[in-house]
Homo-oligomer: A and B are copies of this chain.
Amino acid sequence: MTTRPPSNTQILPTWIGSQRLVVRPGSDVASLALLGYDPYRYYTGRGALEAIGAGIELREGDVAFRCNLATVDDDFRVVDRRAGRIRKGVNKLAKAVDAIKVESVPGVKTIFKATVDHRGVLVLRGEKLSRNVSDVDPREEGLKIGIARATDGSEGGKRTAAAVNEFVKRSHEALREHPLNQERANDGEKVANIVLTRGAGTLPALPSFKSLYDLRGACVTGTALVKGLATAAGMEVMDVKGASGGLKTDYEAKAKAAIEGSKERNFILLHIKAPDIAGHDGDFKAKVRSLEEADVLVGQIIDEIDIGLNYVALTADHATPVGYATHTADPVPIVIGGPDVQASRLSKFSEANAMRGNLGRIRGVNLMPIITDMVGRSRLYGS
């Protein structure tokens, strides 16, 4: 098996081999790894996973972007990356944006869809497009918006960049005079007068979760990213009312869905986003609260699932320490409970204890093989 990434992958200068133990990962890359997909082989950009998670049927050749509805001034300087965290009327704005036709690049169609609050996804559909284009979103307020460029100098990258730049310009034209924004302006609210793109991605070629692990899986999550990842892996995405992907989410509904779902399937991925959000916000109290709420959820599951017959694994895709307010490369703790698990003599689930636990220091991609083996579905290598 080659470990080389596909040729259209953007190579980061920090890559040394494809087997790194210490990586500061994005949620996309980290979640891919936890499901057993080596990101160095399978990662094709976040936008694709977000678009799939938003319910768009992404096709081979499409290039998808994460988007924000944002506020810019007349100089295209970003005043608010989230347009005052706009919620109301977003679908109307999205409709106006979805109607945009890009003319400078022949044969390219655009699809825009709002997801949660100020967030959305853009899909470019057409021939000879590439995900090797830079972000328009400068990711910092006070800066001018970026101009999309081909990061690899390729023809496809240039075509895509031109389409993105025209789309962004047209989104400003379509939104700035929109009645809803005039209302917002009158009410003293920030206007959502542009779409900013980032995280270009293409359809990842994931072998199905079922084919890899012989497990029928389903997923409980509120985020488009994890929904998209599960869908791309051929897992079912359960529709859970109240699973918001935000700080306030219905933990009980998620626990119930997972318990219920486990009766007809043999793998449930239950994802909680809140602790990561609290970490990014640098909000210690919110982080503690989110972990306490998650703790109750775990308790509910363990009470309902027979651990004498089933396995429960609890871990994180990455650390987001409050003191740093961003992802770090720190190892994260993991605990697995179930029949015949070699138990450690540790009573507390903590980073320090995890280092003394029976699993040692493993990589994210090692988790699924461990689980698959515990449940008796691993394949023999050799004979």
Contact = CB atoms under 8 A, between A and B. Distances in A.
A207 interface: yes
Top 10 nearest A-B pairs by Cβ distance?
A26-B382, A360-B361, A29-B382, A329-B373, A22-B369, A19-B19, A24-B378, A26-B383, A355-B358, A28-B382
Contacts of A373: 22, 24, 328-330
A51 to B, nearest CB: 14
A168 B321 CA distance: 61
B357 A355 contact: yes
Task: Count identical subunits in the complex.
Answer: 2
A46 B382 contact: yes
Contact of A18 (B3, B327, B331, B366): B3
A363 B47 CA distance: 33
Given A4-B2, A198-B383, A382-B30, A18 B17 contact: yes
A37 B383 CA distance: 16
Contacts of A18: 1, 3, 17, 19
Contacts of A358: 352, 355
Contact of A382 (B16, B25, B359): B25
21 contacts: A1-B4, A1-B5, A13-B207, A15-B381, A21-B363, A22-B366, A22-B370, A24-B378, A25-B380, A25-B382, A26-B383, A39-B381, A39-B382, A66-B383, A198-B383, A199-B383, A328-B378, A329-B369, A342-B352, A355-B359, A355-B360
Given A16-B38, A331-B360, 19 more contacts: A1-B15, A13-B211, A15-B381, A16-B36, A17-B40, A18-B19, A20-B366, A21-B369, A22-B362, A24-B379, A25-B380, A25-B381, A28-B383, A66-B383, A324-B376, A342-B351, A355-B359, A359-B361, A361-B361
Nearest to A200: B383
Interface string A185-222: 00000000000001100000001000110000000000
Interface residues of A, number: 73
A24 to B, nearest CB: 4
Contact of A17 (B41, B327, B355): B41
Nearest to A201: B383
A368 to B, nearest CB: 9
Nearest to A357: B355
Interface in A323-359: 323-324, 327-331, 340, 342, 344, 351-352, 355-359
A247 interface: no
A309 interface: no
Contacts of A352: 342, 344, 358
Contacts of A38: 16-17
Interface string A112-146: 00000000000000000000000000000000000
A310 interface: no
A41 B4 CA distance: 13
